[in-house]
Structures are given as C-alpha cells and as structure tokens.
Chain A
Amino acid sequence: MGAGSFRVIVGEALTGIRRNGLMSVVSSTTVAVSLFVLAVFLLVGLNVDHMARVIESGLEVRLYLAEDLEPVDVEVLKIQVAALDGVTDVTYVSAEEALETLRQQLGEDAELLEGVEEMNPLSDSLRVSTKGPAWVDAVAASAGRLPGVADVGYTHDLAQRLLKLTTSVRVGGLVLVGLMVLATILVISNTVRLTILARGEEVYIMKLVGATNWLIRWPFLFEGLFFGLAGALLASLAAWQAYYWAVNGIYTTISFIPVLPVYPLAWRLGLVLLALGATIGALGSSISLRRFLRV
C-alpha cells in the first residue's frame, strides 16, 4: 500500500464518519452502553472475588503448644510450620495476648474473666495462615504431627463450606462475565453490521468503479475502530465515575465490606474496555463487509 492509497483510505474514513452523522452517534452509543454494562459486571465480579479472598485469608489453623516448650523450641517449630505446603504466615500468640483478645471480644461481659486472670487457662499458640480453605485440612494434619504441638484447632466444616461458597461464587461470576462479553461482542458487531448493511449499495458502487477490496475495507475498518474506541472511552469514563461514587459510598456507610480501591483498577478496566471496543469495532466491520465484497 503506497502513501497515495493511505491518503485515500484515511480521507474516506473521515468523510464516512462525518457524513454518516446519526448512524455514527447510534453506533458509538450502543458500544458505550454495552461496554458500560460489561464494566459493571466486571467490577462486581472482581469485588466479589476480592471479598472471597479476604474471607478465605481469615481462615486459619491454631496450633496450641505444649506447656513445657523453651523459646528456642518455639522458634524451631515456627520455622518447621512455615516450611509446610500451603502456609503463608505463622504468628506466635502468647497466652497473655490470647486472654487480652478474649477480653476485648467479650467487651461488656469481660467481668466473667475476673478471677481467672491470676491463673491463665489459655495456652501459648501459633496462628497459621494458609493459602486458602483447600489447604487447611492438610496443614492441620501435618502440623499436628510436629513435636511440641499439643492440639490443633480449626473448623473443618467451616473451611469446607467456605471453600464451596467461594468456588461457586467465582465460577458463577466467571460464567456471567463470559456471557456478558459474548453479549457485548454480539451487540457491537451487530450494530456495526447494520451501519454497513445500510451502505451495501455504496460498497457495490465502489466495486463497480474498480476499487480493490482493501481500498474499500480499510476505511470501514477505521470507521469501526473509531466507533469502538469512542464508545469504549465513554464507557470507561462512566464506569470510572460510577465506581468512584460506589466505593466512596461504601467507605462512608458500610466500611466493613472489603472493596478494591479505585486505582489502579480504573486504569486497567479502561484499557481492557478500549482494547475490546477497538477490536470488536474493527473486526466486526471487516467481517460484516465480506459478503458485500463478493461482487
């Protein structure tokens, strides 16, 4: 392709966008709306995944230590536990700290503990964080066999139920997002197809005066790219603003719900939407064009 054809192609694309007025606005708006809906689904999905992760990381294994351990033995044990498969973190919690935590948890009922403080019934322990619910059983079993561990505390049922819940939430979210991507692709490519359908006669005339397929295809491809990008830009801005408000709202009212921070999520989402819009726009138009080029 020479410089001359390139000039022709870009000129044709720009003229097409300008003189196609209403159709251009309709296409870009359709792209924007569908991508925005997709963005909402993605944001909700990512946040649900994030919540699941936060909940899962709260699931831990407690190793209650034997009474007679020396500080050195505790250190050795910590290293041994940390080396186990699936363990992400090991923290030593003394009996005193455990009691203090208990008192805080009881709050107003802390007076129940009066009298026991002199002879602490709790024992020293190791708090073990795992990679997730799937690892809890294995970690508990192997850690329980280590010398110096008197008892293992964890809730098997809770781990399994949580695992089931987060797995199904993730699979469901993925399926939903997948369907949304498909729907978005269909809606956008159909819109592009309609704009081209309306111009089938135009393509026919171009062919009759001897335009090569590429000379016809490129301007349409650029137009599709333009609609895709324009729509994606609108959708990105809208999604960014909407998410910004949503996150601020959650922070100020129900702050205990863990949400992903606005940045860098907004930038990444914007890039994904732009890439998607541009690809679907350009591909959609050149694929729809094919049937007209067979003249």
Chain B
Amino acid sequence: MIEFYEVSKTYLNGVTALRDVTITIAKGEFVFVVGLSGAGKSTLARLVYREELPTKGYVFVNGVNLARLKPRAVPYLRRNIGVVFQDFKLLPRKTAYENVAFALRVTGASPREIARRVPACLELVGLGGKGDAYPDELSGGEQQRTALARAIANHPLVLVADEPTGNLDPTTSWDIVRLLLEVNQRGTTVLMATHAKHIVDAVRRRVITLDKGLVVSDKLRGGYGDGGERAWAQGLSASLSARP
C-alpha cells in the first residue's frame, strides 16, 4: 500500500530529514513510526500524502508513484488518504458536523449521502451529540475525534496520523489510539507517527524507528526502545562518514 524506495529528503534550508529510507507497508497494516523530535517522522508522513516530494528515491501509494502524479491529480490522491495531526487542524468557522461534511463535499458527494455518512462517522468516534459545536467549544480529545471522523469520512485506503496524541492527556490518548485500531480493523492501513512510549509498548504492533533520518529498526511486534543501541551505532557511523 505504501512503498518507499531509497527515499531521501533535503529541505530547501539544507536540513536533511530522511536518508535512504526503504520501507514497505502492506494493505491493512498498523505501523508506528517512532523516533526523537527531528528524526524525520513528520517528513515521512508528509511524503505519504504528498505535501512534500522526495529529493531522491520513490514513494508509491496504492501503486502510484507520487513524483509522477500531476498537481491536478493530487486532490484525488488525498481523498484516499485520511490525515490526523497533533494540532487537529479543524476549520475554525465550521461546526464539527460541517468539518466532517466538508471532506465529503469536496469529493462531490450528494447531500443525501453526506446526511447519512456524517452522523455515522461522528457516532463512530463517540461524538454523536456534538455535531453542532464549533471547534473552540470542544475539548482537545473531542477535537481530535472530530478530525478523525473527518479523516475516515471518505473510507480512505490509508490513514496517516502525525503525533495524534501529542496534545492530549494519557486517557484521551488511549481513546484516540483505540479508535485508530478500530479503523485499522475495518481494513484501513494506518501509519501513526508518535513518541508516546507507553502506547507503542502496549499495543505491540509493527514499529519503525527513525534516527536522524535513517531507519534504525523495523520490528513486527516491537516496543519503543527496540532500536536503541543500533540507532546509536548507526547515528555515530553516519556522523563519522559525513565528515570529510
């Protein structure tokens, strides 16, 4: 479903966020991407929904090479990818219901379909009665649920969650993770970038560890620190080889 082949990403300001990343994520997988701040987690996520293009290498989503995708085709790609962020990114002047409905409206869904689908999504994330509330009237957890409802409204193939629990307390975080697992159960491939150790250790799913842009470990039923020593060693060798 998601394939990275020797992907490197260097931003215009000279910062290299990813180095030679090669990973394959199959349809229906649930994958954690962990690492310290600046390890490249967010860049990896942004490459999936094509906010960024790789400097080197190829990214495939659902068999499509994103670098070859014409700009006008990008919106259609994104309708198959749900995104959830640390800061929720809800439209402030729209109610929770309208935020979810907007994702459907841009796809040209009929009003009848929207009226059927939006309440179902809000119900699924446990916000059945809060549709009329504006984002600033909702708690952090509720805002993230709204964002999640919006992300799944289009039945996406892939759900990318970039630190979705970063602004939430532990209990609320668990609610969100449980919802992500449920979405995954229904067949959506989920990619969650995080540094919430307790969640990663408890869920025991595939864990990809990044350090300074390198993949230092990739374990099928991993924990947060699994790549620790190797990460240190590889980081050291990388910094040594980078020297003239």
Contact = CB atoms under 8 A, between A and B. Distances in A.
A4 B93 contact: no
A212 B51 contact: no
B4 interface: no
Contacts of B150: 209
Interface in B21-78: 49, 51, 72, 75-78
B93 A207 contact: no
A5 B107 CA distance: 9
B233 interface: no
A216 B107 CA distance: 12
B76 A205 contact: no
Nearest to A205: B89
Contact of B78 (A16, A202, A210, A213): A210
Q: Which of B72, B90, B93 has the most CB of A within 10 A?
A: B93
A271 interface: no
Contacts of B90: 205
Interface stretch (B7-15, B98-106, B220-228): B98-106
B157 to A, nearest CB: 13
Given A20-B93, A201-B89, A206 B108 contact: no
Majority DSSP secondary structure for residues of A touching B: helix
Interface residues of A, number: 22
Contacts of A210: 75-79, 103, 106-107, 154
Interface string A178-203: 00000000000000000000000110
A212 B75 CA distance: 6
Interface in A28-87: none
B26 to A, nearest CB: 24
A207 B110 CA distance: 20
Given A208-B78, A208-B83, A210-B76, A215 B93 contact: no
B154 A205 contact: no
Nearest to A211: B106
Nearest to B154: A210
B129 interface: no
B49 A212 contact: no
A257 interface: no
Contact of A15 (B92, B93, B108): B93
B91 interface: yes
A19 interface: yes
A205 B91 contact: yes
A209 B72 contact: no
Contacts of B94: 15
Contacts of B89: 201, 204-205, 208
A19 B94 CA distance: 9
B111 to A, nearest CB: 8
Contacts of A215: 106
B236 to A, nearest CB: 37
A207 B154 CA distance: 15
Contact of A212 (B92, B103, B106): B106
Contacts of A211: 75, 106
B78 A4 contact: no
Given A2-B108, A5-B108, A295-B51, A209 B93 contact: no
A209 B102 contact: yes
Contacts of A204: 89
B93 A16 contact: yes
B91 A202 contact: yes
A5 B106 CA distance: 8
Contacts of B103: 209-210
B93 A19 contact: yes
B232 to A, nearest CB: 35
Nearest to B83: A208
A10 B58 CA distance: 39
A19 B98 CA distance: 13
Contacts of B108: 2, 4-5
Given A209-B102, A210-B79, A202 B92 contact: yes
Contacts of B83: 208-209
A8 interface: yes
Residue of B76, B92, B105, B108 with highest tally of chain A CB at under 10 A: B105
A211 B76 CA distance: 8
Pairs of residues from A and B, 3 with the lowest C-beta to C-beta distance, nearest first? A210-B79, A210-B78, A211-B106
16 contacts: A4-B108, A4-B110, A8-B106, A15-B93, A15-B94, A19-B93, A202-B91, A204-B89, A205-B89, A206-B102, A209-B78, A209-B103, A210-B78, A210-B154, A211-B106, A295-B51
Interface of B: 49, 51, 72, 75-79, 83, 89-94, 102-103, 105-108, 110, 150, 154
Given A208-B49, A209-B78, A210-B107, 12 more contacts: A8-B105, A15-B94, A202-B92, A205-B91, A207-B75, A208-B78, A209-B79, A209-B83, A210-B75, A210-B77, A213-B72, A215-B106
